[in-house]
Amino acid sequence: MTDISFELQAGPLRKGKLKTTHGEVTTPCIVPLLMQGTLGPVDAATLFTTGVRIVAADGLELMVAPGSNVLKASHGLANFLGWPGVTLTFSGLHLTTEKLKKNASRLGFRYQEPITKADNRMDATSAAQLQRAMHSDLPIAAFQNISYYAPVDDLAIAAKINSDLQHQEQALLPTTIPAINGGGIKAVRKQFISNWQSLKAAFLTQFSQTDFAEWKRIVQENFAFLPHACLRIIVADNAAELLAALRLGADIIVTGLPLVDAVQGLAYSHEGPIRIKEAIYQSDMHQLAGHSVAYWHYLHHEGANAATRGLTINNLQCLLQAVDRDVQSSDVEYLQAKLCLTGQNGGNK
């Protein structure tokens, strides 16, 4: 819960400096999403040595265990995790619901607690209390999405409920960052954004999960609605979304992709990804992250945690280095990142 400043730098692609009390971060920035305080078998402190400077976490699961009292006693999530960098926290990555009732503006969002599965509600007060316990640099306001393709009236009602609750939360915790939703309806999203004055940062959410062209359209439109110097935060679930987010001008991109790919036996390299689980690599002596590809193939085949840990670290380092090279060379197509993630080195098709 600290004041931040964000300053854009001149150049052909969007880049900037984010300053917090826990450090200065160059954007665009890739941010791993932690679950239970780790990125798979990789602890937060180790992530810092790979070049990660911001980690994201879902506070709702941390409220169940270790619990908000432990976080308070630790003076925040960063201290509890032994994390020396910047933290970005959600007060709940709730599942999409069918519809939001108008009384949710007063009663809060319905959700099921992780682990216990108990039914509960999160209102502005409980969301602000949780964010205070986590003591985050970038606290994202509580939000809940309905189906992207819900009727227009339902989307408008849901957006207003989200906006109302987030204003209540920001009144309790002024550093709260709004979470902008509204489905694919341009007017609804534009109205949501206009409800906030002097936006310094915004998290964009509720996109199509099945139509990538639609995903890009809404992201591009929303970025255009935001003040130019507003810090743009977004989640990318796959390589296509991550690359598009970079090209469209996202400043902070939250993703679990390096871990997801590592679990599936995909290792990033600057020449393109390697599917080490395939039999052709069982005797490959080329070096990857300090060992032969054959070594990683063996560990992955045996289901060893060391394989997931090593490949996750490798994937993060490779991706961060590729993005940094693209930024340093002012490559608006992010071709190094594209090569790292997909093995393709052509332009944006």
- The domain spanning residue 101 has which CATH number? 3.20.20.105
- Give the pLDDT band of residue 347 (cuts 50, 70, 90): low
Domain that holds residue 299: 258-349
Query: 182-205 pLDDT, tens per residue?
Result: 999 999 999 999 999 889 999 999
In this structure, the answer to whether residues 131 and 240 fall within a common structural domain is yes
In this structure, the answer to whether residues 179 and 318 fall within a common structural domain is no
Q: Which of 255, 286, 310 is the last residue of a domain?
A: 255
What residue ranges in the chain does DSSP mark as E strands? 5-9, 15-20, 23-27, 29-34, 38-39, 42-43, 54-58, 86-90, 109-112, 119-122, 138-140, 179-180, 201-204, 231-235, 252-255, 266-267, 274-275, 287-288, 291-292
Does 289 have pLDDT greater than 80? Answer: yes
Task: Choose among 42, 31, 104, 52: nearest CA to 305.
Answer: 42
Query: 214-223 pLDDT, tens per residue?
Result: 999 999 999 9
Report for 65-79, 82-96, 239-253: range of highest mean pLDDT: 239-253
Query: For 20-28, what is the mean pLDDT?
Result: 94
Q: Which of 192, 227, 255 is the last residue of a domain?
A: 255
Q: Which residue has the higher pLDDT, 216 or 303?
A: 216
In this structure, the answer to whether residues 245 and 290 fall within a common structural domain is no
Report for 13-27, 65-79, 94-108: range of highest mean pLDDT: 13-27
- Give the pLDDT band of residue 118 (cuts 50, 70, 90): confident
Enumerate helices (H) and strands (E) in the chain, giving the number of each.
14, 19
Please give the pLDDT value at position 349. Answer: 40
Backbone φ/ψ region at 82: left (φ over 0), alpha (ψ -120 to 50), beta:
left
Sign, CA torsion 272/276/277/283: positive
- Give the pLDDT band of residue 180 (cuts 50, 70, 90): very high
Q: What distances in angstroms separate CA 193 from CA 5, 128, 135, one per listed residue?
A: 20, 21, 25
In this structure, the answer to whether residues 215 and 262 fall within a common structural domain is no
Query: In the numeric block, which tokens belong to residue 96?
Result: 């999409």
| Residues in Cβ contact with 88 at an 8 Å cutoff, skipping those fewer than 6 apart | 31, 54, 55, 56, 57, 136, 137, 138, 139, 140, 233, 252, 254
Query: In the numeric block, which tokens belong to residue 112?
Result: 């099921």
Instruction: Name 267's bridge partners.
Output: 274
Work out the mean pLDDT of the chain and round it to a whole number. Answer: 92
How many structural domains are present in the chain?
Answer: 2
In this structure, the answer to whether residues 242 and 280 fall within a common structural domain is no
Query: 123-176 pLDDT, tens per residue?
Result: 999 999 999 999 999 999 999 999 999 999 999 999 999 999 999 999 999 999
